[in-house]
Chain A
Amino acid sequence: MALEPTCLALMALRLDQHANVQVLLNDKRPDGSWGAFGDDDEASGLTGLALLALNTTGAFPGAATRAVRWLLDTKGREANWLWKWKFRTTDTHVRFDPDKFGWPWEPGTCSWVVPTSFALLALKQSFPCCREGKVAYRIQRSVEMLQDRACPKGGWNAGNVIVYGSPMTPHFDATAIALLALRSEPRNRLVDQSLVWLERQAYSCPSPWSLSWSILALNAYDKPVAQLQHHLETLAEPDETYDTATLAVTALALDCTTSGNPFEVVV
């Protein structure tokens, strides 16, 4: 089992009573996380996405509680005081504030936009109200991290902003997933700029994966997406073979206006 396609497929099949969530539960690691593959030795930064899939498909309090605990205990390596010093003194070619951290792709590495956004969404969904203590602290820090790691003119790359003085360019999926994670936050200039960028680019997006994430984000911000959904239908040709993750996120995007958007946070 590969984690990302499994989670996205379960979310796409959330209304199908035959969808087998047990596949995901079986591969849970003892520490509450999931590996990138069923037999993986290390925890994956997509554990937040796994928690989102559980939240979407039903009530699994035991697994969800352990996943939350793992998320609260795991953070990007820049959160450690030694590496903070390093990034402030000698390793300064990438512009970022190490006080603002989220979640890494793998434990022992830096925070990046996609795992942080999924973890943030999962925590917000798991705690729709009464966020206190560590939960409130991690949500606040990761919101700040996403705001810190945005591209100068809006949108998100993988998590680098300016490298050796050169600004990075935004990516569709990272921008869309970060916007989804920030949906319940007060609107600000960064979010507005990112939405403008995403909306403008989405109409000419040639790829189902990127377009699907764009639709999900724009839909969450109440932007009209019917035309984009039609564009996606024309892109996703029936005779093309797509990987499961792309197929699942395409289904979620085509379906979000009728069956709901599972990446929306209800506060």
Chain B
Amino acid sequence: MTRRAALAGTLGIAAGTATSLPFLVPRYDHDRRPSRSHVAILPATQYSEKLSRVLWDGLRLFNLDVAGKSVVLKPNLVDYIPEAEINTHPLLITAAAECFRRLGAKIVSVGEGPGHQRDTQLVVQGTGLEQYLKEQRIPFVDLNRDEVVKVCLRADYSRLGYLSLPRTVLAADFTVSMPKVKTHHWSGVTLSLKNMFGVVPGVKYGWPKNLLHWRGIQQTIVDLVATVPIHFVIADAIVCMEGNGPLAGTARRLDRIVLSDDPVAADATCVRLMGLLPEQVPHIAETGKFLGNLSSDRIEQLSAPLTTPPAPFETVPDFEHLRAKAGLASADLR
């Protein structure tokens, strides 16, 4: 090895280490974890009209009070790539809208700001969502181009201090994060917490929202979800993605919908369903210290326990350490 190569390697390692250091020191305002969180893992084997019934039965396990409230559903619509299982399924989104209307919500809207694709309408049309939204008269807000409000962040891992965020999300009484369960080549997994990157407006931060990457993806996820409350999670874990997600991985069936009143508990549960270790995902581990419950001792399962442990999801090489030894992650789901 030449001296030049050694210096290059050292500088690179230093730069890499610098991005993981912020989690050594807590940078949140106060501990907001509920004493107990609730999760329901519902069997669902196909995307069909029957999802409304499955979801309705699941939601009734929770004492949700949305009567008279404005509800924003935040699905994961990352791009339009025909045949690729990368987005929250439109039937699940419209089923959720229907259920929250039945629960008495004043208004239910859907909002998303894709990270790479500037043409949000193309994504909404291409995925088939637009047709369902029109039929059911559900408004859609392009969060990349919504009016923005400058907001001080309630955690300081990214050192950003503030973000400009869409008024629609900030003004909502009740925000539902609706991720597609996928592995992610930069953040390990993309679930209800990472899904909130979609509220950061592209019109200010660009496509992709590259500033968030430069300030550390794990750190900015924590700062963002500490600031924008997620009141409920409906995760699409029917057909998921493993490997090189969020765009180029392989479809993987779990045949489940995961509901929770705590996004950290939801993500921890989804990660365990994926056969991975949530404690090893930095943004889940850190939010588990102040925002929600990571430990299975504080997560109450409202549904029937899983009987067969899943084989761990494939990951990119940088996240192979997330893969649990056989049965270790799923043991916490019982």
Interface residues, chain A, with chain B CB atoms under 8 Å away: 2, 4, 36-37, 40, 44-45, 77, 82, 85-86, 88-91, 93, 104-106, 108-110, 112, 114-115, 157-158, 160, 163-166, 168-169, 171-174, 205-210, 243, 245-246
Question: Hey, which chain B residues are within 8 Å of A168, CB to CB?
Answer: 247
Q: How far is the CA of A180 from the CA of B244 in the complex (A)?
A: 32
Contact A164–B122 (Cβ < 8 Å): no
On whether the beta carbons of B244 and A164 are closer than 8 Å, the reply is yes
Nearest-neighbor residue (CB-CB) of A206 within chain B: B125
Q: In the complex, what's the smallest C-beta–C-beta distance from A63 to chain B, in angstroms?
A: 22
Q: B12 in the interface, Cβ–Cβ < 8 Å?
A: yes
Per the bound structure, the CA–CA distance linking A45 and B203 in Å amounts to 10
Complex Cα spacing A243 to B16, Å: 40
B21, CB-defined interface residue at 8 Å: no
Task: Find A164's partner among B119, B142, B214, B248 (CB 8 Å cutoff).
Answer: B248
Report chain A residues within 8 Å CB of B119. Answer: 171-173, 207, 209-210
How far is A109 from B142 in the complex, measured between Cα atoms in Å? Answer: 24
Residues in chain B near residue A173, CB distance under 8 A: 118-119
- Taking a contact as CB atoms under 8 Å apart, the answer to whether B121 and A209 are in contact is yes
Q: Is B289 an interface residue (CB 8 A)?
A: no
Using Cβ atoms and an 8 Å threshold, which residues of chain B touch A174?
118
B148 lies within 8 A of chain A by Cβ: yes
B101 within 8 A of A: no
Assess whether B118 is in contact with A85, with CB atoms less than 8 Å apart: no
Are the CB atoms of A171 and B116 closer together than 8 Å?
Answer: yes
B102: A residues at CB distance < 8 A: none
Query: CB-defined interface of B151-188 with A at 8 Å, one 1/0 digit per residue?
Result: 00000000000001000000000000000000001000
Q: Are B11 and A86 in contact (CB under 8 A)?
A: yes
Task: Select which of B12, B117, B203, B248 is within 8 A of A90 by beta carbon.
Answer: B12
For A40, give the chain B residue with the smallest CB separation: B204
13 example contacts (A-B, Cβ-Cβ < 8 A) are as follows: A77-B214, A89-B12, A91-B12, A93-B185, A105-B211, A108-B214, A109-B210, A109-B214, A110-B210, A163-B185, A164-B316, A171-B116, A173-B118
Residues in chain B near residue A36, CB distance under 8 A: 164, 203-204
> Given known contacts A86-B15, A164-B244, is B206 in contact with A207 (CB within 8 Å)?
no
Q: Looking across the interface, which residue of chain A has its beta carbon closest to that of B10?
A: A89
Minimum CB–CB distance from B130 to chain A (whole Å) comes to 9
Are the C-beta atoms of A172 and B122 separated by less than 8 Å? yes
CA distance A157 to B247 in the complex (A): 13
Q: Which residues of A contact B15 (CB under 8 A)?
A: 82, 86, 90-91
Instruction: Kindly state whether residue B207 has any CB partner on chain A within 8 Å.
Output: yes
Known contacts A85-B11, A173-B119; is-contact A106 B205 (Cβ 8 Å): yes
Contact between chains at B122 and A158 (CB < 8 Å) = no
CB within 8 Å for A163 and B244 given contacts A105-B205, A174-B118: yes
Q: Which residue of A lies closest to B126 (CB)?
A: A206
Q: How far is the CB of B153 from chain A (nearest CB, A)?
A: 15
Q: Is the CB of B208 within 8 A of A158?
A: yes
Residues of chain B within 8 A (CB-CB) of A108 are 211, 214
What residues of chain A lie closer than 8 Å to B210, measured between beta carbons?
104-106, 109-110, 112
Across the two chains, which residue of chain A brings its CB closest to B124?
Answer: A207
Find B207's partner among A93, A112, A205, A210 (CB 8 Å cutoff): A112
Cβ contact within 8 Å between B248 and A166:
yes
CB distance A2 to B203 under 8 Å? Answer: yes
Q: A82 — which chain B residues lie within 8 A by C-beta? A: 11, 15
Q: Decide: B11 and A171 in contact? CB cutoff 8 A.
A: no
B85 CB, nearest partner CB in chain A, Å: 15
B117 CB, min distance to chain A CBs, angstroms:
6
Q: Which residues of B contact A93 (CB under 8 A)?
A: 185, 316, 318
Closest chain A CB from B204 CB (angstroms): 4
On chain A, the residues within 8 Å of B244 by CB distance are: 163-166
A37 contact set on B, CB distance < 8 A: 148, 164, 204
Tell yes or no: B306 within 8 A of A by CB.
Answer: no
Q: Does B145 touch A at the CB level, under 8 Å?
A: yes
**B328 sits at the interface (CB 8 A):** no
Check: B326 CB closer than 8 A to any chain A CB. Answer: no
Q: How far is the CA of A91 from the CA of B11 in the complex (A)?
A: 11
Q: In the complex, which residues of chain B have a beta carbon less than 8 angstroms from the beta carbon of A77? A: 214
With A and B bound together, what is the CA distance between A245 and B213 in angstroms? 27
Residues of B within 8 Å of A160, CB to CB, are 116, 208
| A171/B185 contact (C-beta < 8 A), A108-B211, A158-B207, A206-B125 known | no
Query: For residue B81, which residues in chain A have a CB less than 8 angstroms away from its CB?
Result: 169
Within 8 A of A (CB), among B53-88: 79, 81
State how many angstroms separate the Cβ of B149 from the closest Cβ of chain A. 11
Across the interface, B206 reaches (CB within 8 A) one of A112, A205, A243, namely A112
Given A86-B15, A108-B211, A112-B206, answer yes or no on A209-B118 (Cβ-Cβ < 8 Å). Answer: yes
B95-127 at interface with A (beta carbon < 8 Å): 116-119, 121-122, 125-126
| A101 → B minimal CB distance (Å) | 13
